[in-house]
Amino acid sequence: MNEANDELAFEPHEEELLSRVAWHYYHDGLTQSEIGERLNLSRIKVSRMLDRGRKMGLIHVHINSSYGGCFALEARLQEIYGLDEARVIPAQETGNINDRLAEAASQYLMGRLKDQEMLAVGWGATVMGTLQRLARTLSYRDISLVSLTGGVSAYIEGVASGRSSQNVHLIPAPLVVSQENIAEAIRAERHVVEVMSMARTANYALVGIGAVADEATLIASGYASRSQFEIFRRQGAVGDIIGIFYDQNGEPLDLPFHKMLVGLDFGALSAIPQVIAAAGGPKKIDAIRAAARGGRIDVLITDEPTAQAIIEKDQA
């Protein structure tokens, strides 16, 4: 037996005492000092015995909470995909998933944003819902908002909640135009250049992740058609972030559509210190997984069933 294992070995009478200490601590809720007085042990001795019991496998702590499984999933997501952080909310049969993810994303950002920092944002229901919930925090901390793409109307709902115009900077252009040369001309306009340059200096970026599905926001908003989405699917698209479609490895596709976008590209997005994605649901599993695999995001906020499905795909 090696030295490490020898230190963890115990005699039968020691197991009884250790078990009694553990029972009093975890079941009866006694403090280490109270256990020491009851069993004639020092508090330090009790602490060491509890630590030894955990290392020996005699003590297993089970957290009987709906969040217990979520914490384990967060750790697995970080391990598999190299994420800086993951936040997983418990499964829930009722309630709108976008609303629940928006609440989780707003709570996450409340704990991160510091006074006078800048938050760059994509668009979509979850992102706009997050901004609405953050309105008071953003105002109180004097946080500036800047858009990652054109499409002013898509941002209005989220940024209009109690924000002064001085702290909101939107790219004054559509998200998608009809021709490549028009997009190039717009991207060269002074006001567009200024806002896009500002977005590159943001401390955080908050984005949604879109599925290549008929219910996608890009289709609902009139920026793309179902026939275009079918072409994207045939070319290997599994999802999009800020209108940029990517394959199962998170690599952007070479699509004419991308040349008609007004906004930051993946290179500029990845230069922002922390890119936070809030997304979930069965139709977005492949899109979220690919974005994580490709290193397109640093933080993922999702729900329990989606997290489980993503992990299972990489364990199959």
pLDDT of residue 12: 57
- Going by pLDDT thresholds of 50, 70 and 90, the confidence category of residue 53 is confident
Per residue in 20-44, pLDDT (tens digit) is 898 899 888 999 999 999 888 999 9
Indicate the class that CATH gives domain 68-315. alpha beta
Instruction: Judge residue 38's burial from the number of C-beta atoms within 10 Å of its C-beta, 0-12 exposed, 13-18 middle, 19 or more buried.
Output: middle
> Can you tell me the distance from the alpha carbon of 281 to that of 33, in angstroms, rounded to the nearest whole number?
48
Q: Please choose, from the candidates 106, 171, 168, the residue with its C-alpha nearest in 3D space to the C-alpha of residue 143.
A: 168
Rounded to the nearest integer, the mean pLDDT of the chain is 90
pLDDT, average across residues 270-290? 97
pLDDT of residue 209: 98
Three-state secondary structure call for residue 239: strand
Q: What is the pTM of this model?
A: 0.82
Quickly tell me which residue has 């209108």 as its tokens. 243
Comparing CA positions, the residue from 113, 106, 277 lying closest to residue 203 is 113
| CATH number belonging to domain 12-56 | 1.10.10.10
Order of strands across the sheet that contains 118-121: 85-89, 299-303, 274-278, 204-207, 118-121, 144-147, 168-169
Instruction: Taking residues 167-179, report their average pLDDT.
Output: 94
Kindly indicate the confidence band of residue 10, based on its pLDDT and cuts at 50, 70 and 90: low
Residue 6, pLDDT score? 44
Q: How far apart are CA 246 and CA 291, in angstroms?
A: 8
pLDDT digits (tens, 9 = 90+) for 71-116: 899 999 999 999 999 999 998 887 799 999 999 999 999 999 999 9
Structure token digits, residue 58: 């005699």
Domain boundaries, the chain: 12-56, 68-315
- 220-243 mean pLDDT: 95
CA 85 to chain centre: 7
Confidence (pLDDT) at 255: 97
Bridge partners (DSSP) listed for residue 54? none
Q: Per-residue pLDDT for 3 more than 50?
A: no
Spatial distance between the Cα atoms of 259 and 65, rounded to a whole number of angstroms: 48
User: Please, how many CA atoms are within 13 Å of residue 308, restricted to the half-sphere of its CB?
Assistant: 9
